[in-house]
Amino acid sequence: MERIKVEESVEYLVNLIDIEPEIALILGSGLGELAEEIKESTVISYSEIPNFPVSTVKGHAGQLVSGELKGKRVIAMQGRFHYYEGYDIEKVTFPVRVMKFLGADKLIITNSAGGVNRNYNVGDLMIINDHINFMGTNPLIGPNEEEFGPRFLDMSEPYSSNLITAAENAAKEIGINVRKGVYLATTGPNYETPAEVRCMARLGADAVGMSTVPEVIVANHMNCDVLGISCITNMAAGILSESLDHKEVIETTNRVKDDFIDLITKILELI
Ligand code: HPA
C-alpha cells in the first residue's frame, strides 16, 4: 500500500527532476539556506507532490530542491516533518523512501538538539555515531514491504562509519571542533524535565532532540548510508540554571549556521 504511494510520488518527481540524485539532505531549521546554494536547481513544493505531507512549522519552507552542490547530485528537503506536529510516523519518513527511490543512497540529516553530555557547550556541532529511540514508536511497524527492506532490520551500524570519518576529516580541514556522540530522540514537543535529562545521561545519551531517528531507521531499512549531525543549541533542562526557550534554539542555530553549512559543504566535497 505504502509502496504504491511512494511510486506515485516518484513518478511525479522523475518527470520534473532531470538528474538522478546520489545524496539526500534533510536540513533542519536554519540550515535551509544551504539549499539555496544548489546549482541548476529544480524546486518543487511539497504541496504539489502526490501523497507528500505538507509542513506546518513556521520558518520551514516545505520544498524539495534538487541539483548540483559541490559537484554532487543532491536532493534536499528544505523543511522536514516532526512527529509532534501530528503526522503519522509513516508520513514523517515518507520523503526518505521517495528520495531513495529517486536514486539517493546516502542521506545527510541535520537537527538541533539539547546537550545532555555536561562536557558539551552551546554551539557545538556533534556527529551522531549512534542513537537511542525513545519515541515509543517505530516507522517500520505494520506490514513489511519486502521491496523496501527486511522485516527484522539490523541496526549494528545505523550511521555509516565511512561517512563519520569523512565528516571528521572535513571538520579538520576547515578547522572546526566537532563532537561525536549518541543522539536520543523523544517525541517532544515539550522539552525534557531535569530528571529525564539525568536519566538520559545515565543511559548513554550525549544529546536529545525530537527528530531524525525515524528517518534514520527508514534510511537503514532501505540500505541507505546515513550521516547525522546535531547542532547543540542549548544545554538540556537542569544542566544550567536557566529555563529553556525556543528563542535560544533559534539564536544558537543562527550563530552556528555558517560553520554548519561550511561543514556540510566540505563533507559533500569529500564523499
Ligand atoms: N530537547 C529536545 N529537543 C531539542 C532541544 C532540547 O533541549 N533543543 C533543541 N531541540
Share of the chain above pLDDT 90, in %: 82
**Cα of 112 to ligand 1 centre, how many Å?**
7
Q: Which ligand 1 atom is nearest residue 209's CA?
A: 3
* pLDDT exceeds 70 at position 56: no
Which amino acid, one-letter code, is at 152? Answer: F
What whole-number distance in Å separates Cα of residue 93 and Cα of residue 238? 31
> What does the pLDDT read at residue 18?
84
- Paired sense of beta strands 125-133 and 178-185, if any: parallel
The greatest distance separating any two alpha carbons of the chain, rounded to the nearest whole angstrom, comes to: 53
The grid coordinates listed for 204 are 548513554
What whole-number distance in Å separates Cα of residue 239 and Cα of residue 80? 28
**Cα of 16 to ligand 1 centre, how many Å?**
36
Yes or no: say if 180 and 168 are a contact pair by the CB < 8 Å rule: yes
Model confidence at 79, pLDDT cuts 50, 70, 90, reads confident
* pLDDT exceeds 80 at position 226: yes
Task: Give the range among 45-54, 114-123, 174-183 with minimum mean pLDDT.
Answer: 45-54
What whole-number distance in Å separates Cα of residue 1 and Cα of residue 114? 37
* pLDDT exceeds 80 at position 213: yes
> What does the pLDDT read at residue 210?
97
Give me Rg for the CA atoms of the chain.
17
Sign of CA dihedral 57, 122, 232, 198: negative
Yes or no: say if 94 and 6 are a contact pair by the CB < 8 Å rule: yes
- Average of per-residue pLDDT across 174-188: 97
| CATH code, 262 | 3.40.50.1580
> Which residue puts its alpha carbon closest to atom 5 of ligand 1?
114
pTM: predicted TM-score of the whole model, two decimal places: 0.96
* pLDDT exceeds 90 at position 36: no
For residue 261, give its domain range: 2-270
* One-character DSSP codes across 105-137: -EEEEEEEEEE-STT--TT-EEEEEEEEE-SS-
- Average of per-residue pLDDT across 187-196: 97
Model confidence at 224, pLDDT cuts 50, 70, 90, reads very high
Q: Which ligand 1 atom is nearest residue 237's CA?
A: 7
**Cα of 7 to ligand 1 centre, how many Å?**
34
Model confidence at 40, pLDDT cuts 50, 70, 90, reads confident
**Cα of 182 to ligand 1 centre, how many Å?**
14
- 234 pocket-lining for ligand 1 (C-beta < 6 Å): yes
Task: Count up the domains in the chain and report the number.
Answer: 1
Share of the chain above pLDDT 70, in %: 97
**Cα of 38 to ligand 1 centre, how many Å?**
28
* pLDDT exceeds 70 at position 1: no
> Which residue puts its alpha carbon closest to atom 6 of ligand 1?
114
Task: Give the range among 102-106, 161-165, 238-242 with minimum mean pLDDT.
Answer: 238-242
Cα 97-227-139 angle, rounded to 5 deg: 35
> What does the pLDDT read at residue 55?
67
> Ligand 1, from 112, 124, 183: best to mutate by most atoms within 8 Å of Cβ?
112
H-state helical runs in the chain: 2-14, 89-101, 161-174, 194-202, 213-221, 246-270
